[in-house]
Amino acid sequence: MRGKAQRVKNIQTVSGSAVSTSGQEKKLLEKTKLEVPEEGDKIALKDVVGGEAIGVARRVKKDNRYEISVIADLSEPGAGEFYEGWVVVDGKETTLGRLLVEKGGYIVEKVLGDEVKDKILVVVSLEKKDDGKIEKKVLEGSL
């Protein structure tokens, strides 16, 4: 680890307001010791339940595929619950998988095809069932 997070120069948009990912990245590094890699498109994920959760989603083109990753600072889920990452394209929900604990934060990565090359909604949900459906959104943002 390099010790300091690199700053992002571009500003992304979440729900109509400008949000720099550099602030989220700094908070994630301070709280979790997880750095957000510099490459790719990034968006700050917004807490949609009125809590203090934070996250950053990233999309990186690798050959003809796209790696989607989510790094988040989330409270510990309740007994029998877990966090799951999702991308939503034209209303179709595709799981990224369960977020795993890493250095005090949560992370998930998955490589997908061209369906995620344009605008996508990235969601982190709190789940009780592994049924392929979003149960309770916790974080979200559009890339």
pTM, two decimal places = 0.79
Q: Which of 10-19, 60-69, 83-92, 121-130 has the lowest mean pLDDT?
A: 10-19
**CATH of 11-142 among 3.40.50, 3.30.230, 2.70.220, 2.60.40:** 2.60.40
Please enumerate in sequence order all residues whose Cβ is within 8 A of that of 6, keeping only pairs 6 or more positions apart, or say none.
25, 35, 38
Does residue 107 sit in helix, strand or coil? strand
- Specify burial of residue 62 (Cβ count, 10 A radius: 0-12, 13-18, 19+): exposed
Domain boundaries, the chain: 11-142
| pLDDT given for residue 12 in this prediction | 35
